Structure 1
Amino acid sequence: MCAEYATFGLAPAMRAGGVLANGDYQVHRDFTDFIVDGRPLLFQLSDLDAVSPLASDVPPAIFTTHVRRLLLEAEPPLPEGRFVIYGCPECESLECGAVTAVIERDPENAEDYIWRDFAWQTQEEVDLERDGYHGIGPFRFRGEGYRSELGRLLAAPEPALPRRVLLIGARVAVLAKLAAALRTIGIGAEITQDASAVPTEELRTYGAVAFGRAVTDTQRALVREAFERTGADVAYVEGLAPIIPILVAQIEDALDRSPVEQRRLTRLVAADGEAGVEVTSTCRVQLTGYRLDRLYRTHTHELFDDVLEAGRHRIALDAKAVKGESYIVARTTDSVLVAPMVR
């Protein structure tokens, strides 16, 4: 078995929701990711759109069962001692595919845990030769640290971060469409013009406040004061344009509380017809352009969709797609960033 120990940890993570270029919706999911040797395990298993079983919207009893399974205090859900490590973010069906692994006690030291034989699984039985993640693991974790990390989730579960957004702006039609889009992807949204009239307890349920471009500095200051009085940890979003996919992407970015160093997408700049992108691991990156013409009609352009290696990249964009007032949305499975095109 493996001789060296790997470190085990947990960290908040997010599957970014959004309104996609083709009009489809992608559901937002918050979950707890596994950190192995200081790096999200998900990043080591290729560019998967998946979440761990430790999702914030899982009912408490089911969440507890998932934790106890990882501690080997409950039976594995699959034959041959296999456990689901990551699954479909839209449902829990094995047919959609899941990353599974054998979790067992170390035969050399029963206090320690071993994760081995990682595989992509779509049915009850798995063919390791065909579907195994060769070169990943086995990982050997010290029992004390492993139990301590997972035990925190049982002893004092951290409250889920608020997934509600307060929308403030002058264009009611835009706000209504934005609220509908956010609710569709799993984020609560309400509209108001006066946050001072909102009860304190309700203000604490918001994770972000989004301001429209027409909101005055005085109005913004009053809203901030109302939230500061509650002591709520809220993110503020300055709406770039009355374009629903852009506003949703900005709000998704604001709601992302995962450590920056544990995200795939960490930087986006757009200037002079180029986009500058930085990713921390090899992953698929999609760039979408949104342009407002003189009549304030929105034009959408899919500009880039490819796998990039870790590092910084400069990507030339279609000049016609980014002329005038235009914006770029960069998306990976876990992160989304927005930048205006600067000239």
Structure 2
Amino acid sequence: MSAVYATFGLAPAMRAGGVLADGGHQVHRDFMDFIVDGRPLLFQLADLDAVSPLASDVPPAIFTAQVRMLLLEARAPLAGGRCVIYGCPECEDIRCGAVTAVIERDENDFVWRDFAWQTSGTADLELNGYHGIGPFRFRGDAYRAELERLLPDGDGDTAPVRRRVLLIGARVAVLARLAAALRTIGIGADITHRATGVPAEELRTYGAVAFGRAVTTQERAAVRAEFEAAGLEVAYVDGLAPIVPLLVAQIEHALDRTPLVRRRLSRLTTTPGTADVEVTTPCRVRLMAYRLDRLHRTHTREVFDGRLEPGEHRIPVDGRAAKGQSFVVARTLGSVLVAPMVH
């Protein structure tokens, strides 16, 4: 086996949830991704909608068991010593499909090999193997140290945390629909008219604060002061329009802890009649346009759905989708961006 070493690391990642145009939804998942030679391993599996076993919303005991499995301190769950590297973000059923690999020790090193797509108890390497990925040999000390940081007695704070959002605004009906949509995709949400006098322990549960358009500058400053006085850093979202899927996308972006250099979707801007998108790796990108008409009715239109290569892309936006108060949402499997249309 090759003696060439790969580097191993962990970094926060997100599977962006969202309210879809057809009325369905996809669940928000925070997880730790595997960084091999400085690049997310998930990026080598083009357009795979999956998360690692190190997800924030699994019970602590199961999270610890997953770390122990990767350290080979617990038995591999699948035949042939195979472990799940990435699985279905909606459930844990192997029948939905999972990327698996053999993890083994070679003296002091850890080796990941024989990657495959698996939908049953056994893997068919000839038919479903990822022949261009791995094997990866990791130095044992560095590999173990990185994973042990996630354990309850570790010295790191890299384990993902469950997210909640504080919604502040005057339009109770819109906030109620937004909170329901966020809860549906796995994000906790609370509604309030103000956040002054709230104990720091309670403020600490929020990862973002979303302001409605009717919230005044003074009220926003008071909320920020409360979080700053508690020594907390949160993301602040200024709601663009009372359109629930649009607001969900804004909040999803605010909650994204993925380092900027490791995001597939790096930029979204608009010019009259176009949306300018930049991606860092080959991936499928979907663009949706949302518009409010004079009667404040919401109109939704798909702008683009296709695979883009790394770089900048200018995508035309139909004039009917871009008139009036209109906005564009760009999504990949791991991130989401929002931009108002420029007229």
Verify same fold: TM over 0.5.
yes
- Structure-2 separation of matches of 1:74 and 1:169: 49
Aligned pairs for 1:184-263 (under 5 A) are 184-263=184-263
Correspondence for 2:5: 5
Match of 1:130 among 127, 135, 154: 127
Q: CA deviation at 1:265?
A: 0.8
C-alpha distance after superposition, 1:78-133 (max 9, x if no partner): 11111100000010000000000011112xxx100111111100011111111011
For this pair of structures, how many residues does the alignment match? 340
Correspondence for 2:316: 316
Aligned pairs for 1:61-100 (under 5 A) are 61-100=61-100
Q: CA deviation at 1:324?
A: 1.5
Correspondence for 2:338: 338
- Structure-1 separation of matches of 2:160 and 2:122: 34
Query: What amino acid does structure 2 have at the position aligned with 1:172?
Result: V
Correspondence for 1:282: 282
Structure 2 contact 56–162 (Cα < 8 Å) conserved = no
Aligned pairs for 1:165-184 (under 5 A) are 165-184=165-184
Aligned pairs for 1:143-154 (under 5 A) are 143-154=140-151
Q: CA deviation at 1:162?
A: 4.8
Q: CA deviation at 1:160?
A: 4.2
Instruction: Name whichever of 33-42 and 188-197 sits farther off.
Output: 188-197
**2:245 partner SS:** helix
**1:153 partner SS:** coil
Q: CA deviation at 1:293?
A: 0.6
Correspondence for 1:31: 31
Q: CA deviation at 1:303?
A: 1.1
Instruction: Name whichever of 32-41 and 54-63 sits farther off.
Output: 54-63
**1:289 partner SS:** strand
Structure 1 contact 161–207 (Cα < 8 Å) conserved = no
Structure 1 contact 274–317 (Cα < 8 Å) conserved = yes
**1:195 partner SS:** coil
C-alpha distance after superposition, 1:184-243 (max 9, x if no partner): 111111111121142221111111110111111111111111111111111100000100
Say yes or no: does 1:293 pair with 2:290. no
Structure 1 contact 162–206 (Cα < 8 Å) conserved = no
How big is the alpha-carbon RMSD for the aligned residues of Structure 1 and Structure 2? 1.1
Output the TM-score relative to the length of structure 2: 0.97
Q: CA deviation at 1:25?
A: 1.2
Correspondence for 1:120: 117
Unaligned runs of 5+ in 1: none
- Structure-1 separation of matches of 2:317 and 2:127: 39
Unaligned runs of 5+ in 2: none
Query: What amino acid does structure 2 have at the position aligned with 1:256?
Result: D
Correspondence for 1:142: 139
Output the TM-score relative to the length of structure 1: 0.97
**1:69 partner SS:** helix
Structure 1 contact 289–301 (Cα < 8 Å) conserved = yes
Q: Equivalent pairs: percent with the same residue?
A: 72
- Structure-2 separation of matches of 1:279 and 1:318: 22
- Structure-2 separation of matches of 1:318 and 1:131: 41
C-alpha distance after superposition, 1:271-303 (max 9, x if no partner): 211111111111110000001111110000011
Structure 2 contact 55–160 (Cα < 8 Å) conserved = no
**2:149 partner SS:** helix
**1:57 partner SS:** coil
Query: What amino acid does structure 2 have at the position aligned with 1:289?
Result: A
Structure 2 contact 169–175 (Cα < 8 Å) conserved = yes
